[in-house]
Amino acid sequence: MIRLNAFFLIVIVSSYHALAQEAEPPGRDRALKPTGVQFKPPSDLIKTNSVELTDTEEFHRLTIPRMQSGKEKVIGVPLKNISDKKITVKNIEVSCGCMAAIANSLEINTKETLLVYLRITPTEVGRFAKRVTISFEGSPAVTCVIESIVAAAFNVSPNAMLLEPGDVQGGELVVKSVFDYSGFEVKSLNPFMKLVYDRQEKEKGNIYRCELVEGVKDVKAPAELMVPIQVKYLGKIHEYSLQVINSASVAVKPSIVFARRNAQDDNQTEFFVVVRSWREVNDLTCEIASPANGLSLKEIRRKSLSGDALLQAVTFVIEGDTQSTEEVTINWIRDGEIVGTCRVFTNGRSDLAQETFRELNRERNRQLIEQGKANALDPLE
């Protein structure tokens, strides 16, 4: 909470002031000296509904038009004194460093109105709801919640695409200004993705060709990558994300497997994985990387999970003395290159396997809590 006190001009200006106040002993107000400088609002000032000052504490929701991320908007909140006495503003508190409050006077005579200005520079796209509390000497405080929608400066679509490495035609990325800006620059911040300006269409916007580079410094393009897209306009940077799937890649999931012992043969451990590809795969092989300990790997079943056979469940058995080896690492190989690895616990009931399983559950619950899909008080196991 940012709290400032003033006698003539109230200005909440920056996070620097907020930090300075937090370092001061509790109970001390930071006072600004009276000044004759008057704030002159811009021509596009937006006024909210009037807030009437009464003898009771008031709460108001004030809705304003859509704002643009990163661009300042000045809002005027009229405070109307409907009481029979003069009211003096004591403090103005804002709940976010993205807002600054200014009042050209602190006294409101009876039946008169004082305009409190809010300079708002939103940084997060989406719903905007920030609180402003105005307190008075000898009168109840007023709390206002400023509500709006913050729009991104640009629309970038799609947010995901499937690309073939080396295909110069690639896919189309459309960048359109929400506020009819022109002359902006667009570039990819991932070396595996090239963006080339193609054309402009009035309804769509600027269209760029996306090319997935086959390799960068002897490193092949990964199966999946997130590409930060940077849009620069008038010196300001706007960033967006594009998910790219390499259509030539093969994905083997999961990366951690808890195998089961064969009930008839203690020297056989069975497990299955799901192989996802975007073209037919016949040359995918696997091998035990470590520790080998005389173990061997054999495929025993393969089942298609989709009509095009691009999603398959493949079952393997590990043969050998699996009782003395709790965990092995398996490499998935295609065209002589490792395209994935997998940890296999040969005894899913071992202490090591159970502890790993519990840790995976804890991590999954942490992610759900961060996403708001689980309660922090719920058990993590």
Residue 114 backbone zone (phi > 0: left; psi -120 to 50: alpha; other: beta): beta
Judge whether 192 and 222 are in contact, CB under 8 Å. yes
Q: For residues 375-380, give the mean pLDDT.
A: 45
69-100 burial code (b ≥16 CB/10 A, e <16)? bbeebbbebebebeeeeebebbbbbbbbbbbb
Q: For residues 8-37, give the mean pLDDT.
A: 35
| DSSP 8-state secondary structure symbol assigned to residue 33 | P
| DSSP 8-state secondary structure symbol assigned to residue 363 | H
Q: For residues 186-197, give the mean pLDDT.
A: 93
Question: 325: closest CA among 274, 254, 286, 268?
Answer: 268
User: Which pLDDT value is given to residue 365?
Assistant: 75
Q: Over the stretch 60-81, which tens digit does the pLDDT of each residue have?
A: 999 999 898 888 999 999 999 9
**DSSP SS3 for 271:** strand
Q: Look over the chain and give the mean of its residue pLDDT values, rounded to a whole number.
A: 79
Torsion angle of C-alpha atoms 91, 95, 96, 98, degrees rounded to 10: -50
User: Which pLDDT value is given to residue 255?
Assistant: 81
∠ CA(235), CA(236), CA(241), 5° rounding?
A: 135
Residue ranges and CATH numbers for the domains of the chain are 2-151 (2.60.40.10), 154-246 (2.60.40.60), 250-349 (2.60.40)
∠ CA(239), CA(241), CA(244), 5° rounding?
A: 150
User: Which pLDDT value is given to residue 51?
Assistant: 92
User: Which pLDDT value is given to residue 377?
Assistant: 45
User: Which pLDDT value is given to residue 267?
Assistant: 64
H helix runs in 179-334, sequence order: none
Which amino acid, residue 195?
Answer: L
pLDDT confidence tier of residue 28, bands split at 50, 70 and 90: very low
Higher per-residue pLDDT: 345 or 4: 345
Answer whether residue 283 shows pLDDT above 80.
Answer: no
Torsion angle of C-alpha atoms 40, 43, 46, 51, degrees rounded to 10: 40
User: Which pLDDT value is given to residue 381?
Assistant: 40
User: Which pLDDT value is given to residue 62?
Assistant: 94
User: Which pLDDT value is given to residue 373?
Assistant: 58
Provide, rounded to the nearest whole percent, the portion of the chain with pLDDT above 90: 29
User: Which pLDDT value is given to residue 187?
Assistant: 92
Answer whether residue 11 shows pLDDT above 70.
Answer: no
Q: Return the structure tokens found at 355.
A: 């502890």
User: Which pLDDT value is given to residue 375?
Assistant: 52
Answer whether residue 25 shows pLDDT above 70.
Answer: no
pLDDT confidence tier of residue 349, bands split at 50, 70 and 90: low
Answer whether residue 113 shows pLDDT above 80.
Answer: yes
Residue 266 phi/psi, 5° resolution? -65, -15
Q: Over the stretch 291-331, which tens digit does the pLDDT of each residue have?
A: 677 888 888 888 888 776 678 888 888 888 777 777 888 88
DSSP track, 287-305: EEEE--TT-EEEEEEEEES
Q: Over the stretch 229-271, which tens digit does the pLDDT of each residue have?
A: 999 887 888 889 999 988 888 888 888 888 777 666 666 777 8
